[in-house]
């Protein structure tokens, strides 16, 4: 069943930052939406590249050697194995694309680790 | 190497409709941008689900039993095997996500078939 997914409507369905929600699946990946605010945790994904498309706001992804600043209408792909730290000074709305196996905290398991649910 | 990709800047680099350009790769998939104008050809993809995220304009994807109308800020996923016909009355800018193996015309090989190149 193919449905049309409206990003703004979906973002209105949740508030909590750093809790990605699943809004689509294709092949072996999920499309997720997340609100980000503040600083996350340094982590990497052993086996999964991860796409961050900024829908609203400005996201900084710190890498060990530099920062990526991603504005609305821009995306970046963090390759597997690359340590990164997302930082959102103000709330950011982001579309994520990543394999179904991806944990939000990657190699780290702590109180920030959450399982994404469908909305 | 992780870079920040600006969609608007990339769309400015090409004009020709129905010639998807590759702007990123992650896992086994490419992120592509395409400008669509007019009617494409009925086709399906045997093994690949395909995501259409409308960045600008309004895209209609005809299915055999109904039409999907996708506005700016909306996406739809066409599952493998599902016949579809994209139609853009006015120019549409779309972000596609699909496995590297995906041909733009799927099961059909004709004069509309093109190989995507990186921009």
Q: Does A73 contact B31 at a Cβ distance shorter than 8 Å? A: no
* pLDDT band of B110, cuts 50, 70, 90: confident
pLDDT over 80 (residue A53): yes
* For range B58-71, the mean pLDDT: 97
Task: Supply the pTM of this predicted model.
Answer: 0.95
Q: Does A78 contact B5 at a Cβ distance shorter than 8 Å? A: no
Of A4, A51, A70, the CB nearest to B70: A4
pLDDT in tens, B2-26: 799 999 999 999 999 999 999 999 9
| CATH numbers and ranges of domains, chain A | 7-118 (2.60.120.10)
ipTM of the shown complex: 0.94
Q: Say if CB A7 and CB B55 are below 8 A apart.
A: no
């Amino acid at each position: 069943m193919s449905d049309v997914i409206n990003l703004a409507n979906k973002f209105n369905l949740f508030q909590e930052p750093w809790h990605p929600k699943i809004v689509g699946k294709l092949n072996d990946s999920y499309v997720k939406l997340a609100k980000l605010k503040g600083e996350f945790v340094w982590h990497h994904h052993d086996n999964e590249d991860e796409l961050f498309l900024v829908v609203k706001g400005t996201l900084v992804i710190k890498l060990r050697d530099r920062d990526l600043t991603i504005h609305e209408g821009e995306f970046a792909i963090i390759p597997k194995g690359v340590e990164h730290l997302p930082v959102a000074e103000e709330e950011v709305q982001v579309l994520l694309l990543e394999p179904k196996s991806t944990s939000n905290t990657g190699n780290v398991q702590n109180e920030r680790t959450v399982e994404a649910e469908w909305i």
